[in-house]
Amino acid sequence: MKTVLFNTGFFNSGNTIFNIVMFFVAVIALCCSFYFYKRSQTIKKPTYIIKTINLIRNNIKKIKSVEILYDGKNIKNLSVSKIALWNAGKETIRTEDVAQKKPIKIMIDNKSLILDAAIVFQKNEANNFGLFISEDKKSINILFDYFDFKESIILQVFHTGHNSYNIYIDGSIKSVKKIYRKHFPNNRLNFIRIGTCLMSGSVMCMSPLMNVIYGIKLEKSENIVYSIIMGFILICIGVYWSIKKKFPKGFDAFNEEF
């Protein structure tokens, strides 16, 4: 049986497998170059993530015999948030890098108040992190001497907001466009998208290769190249999502119960 593989352009029937292998080698080399380039970059990258549990909801007022007070005043809603803040870049962030007119602060929305805050974890005590709650209970100044790559703190904040979207970190740091916020992905959706990418990519890569190995006639053999390229890209995306970390190692206190 005559095998017709790649009859035009870059591929032909004599060197199809070799060229496919060389394509993968080239892509892997490109990925490695990009990876080591990113690792060699020295930038400041302040990053944070927040998770919140609502302890008391507004409907507590339906129970007439229960009253929740803070500083002598009745509160209808109470939540606790854990905030992890770290430097994801390799350049040290120093206190003199922070703009005096726009310091690093934990902010709350207009309808809520910050009631209390504490540092529950500090990776390096030499960073000398400290907190200062404003008199109007609308913000918390985060003070520090410096923090290096992957050095971090975990804060616990009590407030009257409902969820993690009521609270955020703001501020201005020299040579930094913004303080980057990470979000928790939906675990079920994340599992589905990772599985879909890996399975689809594997099928798209293996089916054309089986055709090449067993010499099945392919009239439009250029589709093999497109299928393998797209399959490989999908596999890479799936692997990246599966190994991507939300935050550095040593953040056990963030995952602990409130």
Model confidence pLDDT, tens digit, residues 38-51: 665 668 999 999 99
pLDDT at 219: 46
Using the 8-state DSSP alphabet, how is residue 60 labeled?
G
- Which residues are bridge partners to 49 per DSSP? 84, 182
**23 and 93 in one domain?**
no
**151 and 36 in one domain?**
no
Domain count, the chain: 2
Domain edge (last residue) among 154, 182, 210: 182
**51 and 27 in one domain?**
no
Domain edge (last residue) among 182, 208, 224: 182
**69 and 169 in one domain?**
yes
**168 and 68 in one domain?**
yes
204: tokens are 């798209």
Containing structural domain, residue 91? 46-182
Which contiguous run of DSSP H or E holds residue 56? strand 46-56
CA distance 141 to 98: 12
CA distance 47 to 170: 11
Domain edge (last residue) among 182, 217, 242: 182
Looking at the domain assignment, is residue 1 inside a domain? no
Q: For residue 139, what are the contacts with CB-CB under 8 A and spacing of at least 6? A: 105, 106, 107, 108, 114, 133
**67 and 112 in one domain?**
yes
Looking at the domain assignment, is residue 258 inside a domain? no
**Stretches in the chain below the pLDDT threshold 70:** 1-21, 23, 34-42, 58-66, 185-187, 208-225, 243-247, 258
pLDDT at 141: 97
